[in-house]
């Protein structure tokens, strides 16, 4: 079955941003001319979700931002994680017509990728009701997504042997305190600094200065399992995968874009960044540290570490400055999902239910493709290719709907 609207109007693209990112369309820039180069203009919807919130909370906020209504985090989840069941009320959803007959395309950068997968998983579990179906997500494109965790989170402050505990004088602890201060002051702050902490009663209207100081000393939120940093640990990713999250849905098209700024060095499978990347000192430093990380120090041991780290391929150390390559591919190991990695197989037929893993032709770091628009050749090629791919997904869907 097709509707007139589906035929005449390209299906909108929903953009989901990553950790600490909520700057939106202004920051992502003028990519529209390239996205729509070969066809009618496609609507792009930027959705704001908690920049430090857990995947569960972000996925719930994403759903209600599109549909409208009061964010419902679920009775069980809110009880376990000690926050209110209901959050912000969205008067006018950004796409209230979202339904199995009016699906949407999704694009996620960094934690935006696992957020979309979590949304599809919650939809499948019936979290949003029986009328909501996983095929409402027609396609998923991800860029530098840490589906299976990243060692960067331990370098930033998460304890290697005791997550979700955070080391006191670390970047992670600083970010946690900043999130509390921004939440306390949120009624005065612009949307770009919105922490989406409505269900936690952290504003100056709901919480005293003394309780803020207590949270700055030791945060119930930053050191919980209900926050982005814990969700980027290998432990949390293993838990999601053993709960059966992240398997592909038969009517959704999936593609991941893998960035890498390192090369294998002379020490086995370890990786190092190219010297010219020293001009991006933060990325260079982290790429080096991720490139020789000792996974054997982690407790609990990650599921991929069957015996010892010598058995791991170089994709565990190759990285984009924030996320290792193996984690950017897709949820689950290749042996337990359906995937097709560029250059390995020659099947060009576009099929739903399979992860198409795409690698850029050149050295790229975590922020090269998105979010900051600088109109590089790489960015322009990315958006043109994405526009064409979305159009071909719609063509494939139309064909299968009319058979
Ligand atoms: Zn929560
Ligand atoms: Zn694979």
Centre of ligand 2 to C-alpha 352, Å, is 15
Give me the pLDDT at residue 35, please. Answer: 96
Give average pLDDT by consecutive 10-residue segment, the chain, 403 residues: 57 89 75 91 93 93 97 95 92 97 97 97 96 97 97 88 81 71 74 73 75 73 82 96 96 97 90 82 92 94 79 93 97 96 70 93 88 92 96 91 72
Centre of ligand 2 to C-alpha 303, Å, is 16
Centre of ligand 1 to C-alpha 221, Å, is 9
Nearest bound ligand to CA 199?
Answer: 1
Give me the pLDDT at residue 23, please. Answer: 63
Centre of ligand 1 to C-alpha 161, Å, is 23
Ion ligand 2 neighbours, Cβ < 5 Å: 329, 334, 339
Centre of ligand 2 to C-alpha 341, Å, is 6
**Domains delineated in the chain:** 4-402 (3.40.50.1820)
Nearest bound ligand to CA 248?
Answer: 2
Task: Examine residue 9 and say whether the peptide bond preceding it is cis (omega within 30 degrees of 0).
Answer: no
pTM of the model: 0.92
Nearest bound ligand to CA 196?
Answer: 1
C-alpha closest to that of 97 among 66, 135, 133: 66
Nearest bound ligand to CA 338?
Answer: 2
Give me the pLDDT at residue 20, please. Answer: 65
C-alpha closest to that of 19 among 49, 41, 48, 51: 51
**Phi-psi domain of 356 (left: phi exceeds 0; alpha: psi -120 through 50; beta: other):** beta
Q: How far apart are CA 244 and CA 90, in angstroms?
A: 31
Centre of ligand 1 to C-alpha 79, Å, is 9
Centre of ligand 2 to C-alpha 113, Å, is 16
Centre of ligand 2 to C-alpha 157, Å, is 29
Give me the pLDDT at residue 304, please. Answer: 93
Other CB atoms within 10 A of residue 343 CB: 9
Spell out where 337-398 has E strands: 339-341, 355-358
């Amino acid at each position: 079955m097709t509707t007139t609207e589906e035929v005449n109007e390209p299906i909108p693209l929903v953009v989901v941003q990553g950790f600490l990112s909520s700057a939106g369309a202004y920051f992502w820039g003028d990519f529209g001319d390239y996205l729509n180069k070969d066809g009618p203009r496609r609507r792009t919807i930027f959705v704001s979700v908690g920049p430090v919130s857990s995947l569960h909370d972000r996925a719930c906020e994403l759903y209600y931002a599109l549909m409208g209504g009061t964010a419902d985090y679920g009775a069980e989840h809110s009880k376990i994680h000690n926050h209110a069941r209901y959050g912000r009320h969205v008067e006018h959803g950004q796409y209230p017509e979202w339904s199995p007959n009016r699906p949407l395309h999704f694009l996620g950068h960094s934690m935006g990728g696992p957020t979309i997968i979590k949304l599809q998983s919650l939809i499948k579990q019936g979290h949003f009701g029986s009328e909501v179906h996983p095929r409402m997500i027609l396609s998923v494109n991800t860029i530098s997504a840490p589906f299976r965790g990243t060692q960067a989170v331990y370098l930033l402050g998460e304890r290697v042997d005791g997550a979700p505990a955070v080391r006191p004088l670390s970047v992670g602890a600083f970010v946690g305190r900043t999130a509390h201060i921004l939440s306390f002051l949120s009624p005065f702050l612009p949307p770009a600094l919105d922490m989406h902490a409505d269900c936690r009663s952290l504003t100056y209207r709901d919480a005293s200065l003394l309780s803020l100081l207590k949270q700055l000393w030791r945060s119930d939120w930053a050191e919980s399992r209900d926050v982005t940093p814990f969700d980027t640990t290998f432990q949390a990713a293993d838990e999601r995968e053993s709960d059966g999250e992240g398997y592909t849905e038969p009517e959704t098209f999936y593609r991941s874009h893998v960035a890498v700024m390192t090369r294998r060095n002379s020490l086995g499978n370890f990786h190092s960044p190219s010297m010219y990347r020293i001009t991006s000192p933060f990325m260079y430093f982290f790429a080096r540290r991720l490139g020789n990380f000792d996974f054997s120090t982690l407790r609990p041991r990650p599921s991929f570490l069957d015996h010892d780290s010598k058995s791991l391929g170089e994709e565990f150390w190759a990285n984009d400055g924030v996320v290792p390559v193996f984690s950017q591919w897709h949820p689950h190991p290749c042996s337990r999902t359906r995937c097709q990695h560029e250059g390995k197989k020659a099947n060009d037929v576009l099929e739903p239910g399979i992860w198409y893993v795409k690698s850029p032709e050149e050295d790229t770091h975590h922020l090269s493709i998105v979010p900051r628009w600088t109109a590089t050749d790489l960015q322009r090629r990315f958006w043109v290719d994405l526009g064409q791919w979305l159009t071909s997904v719609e063509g494939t869907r139309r064909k299968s709907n009319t058979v």
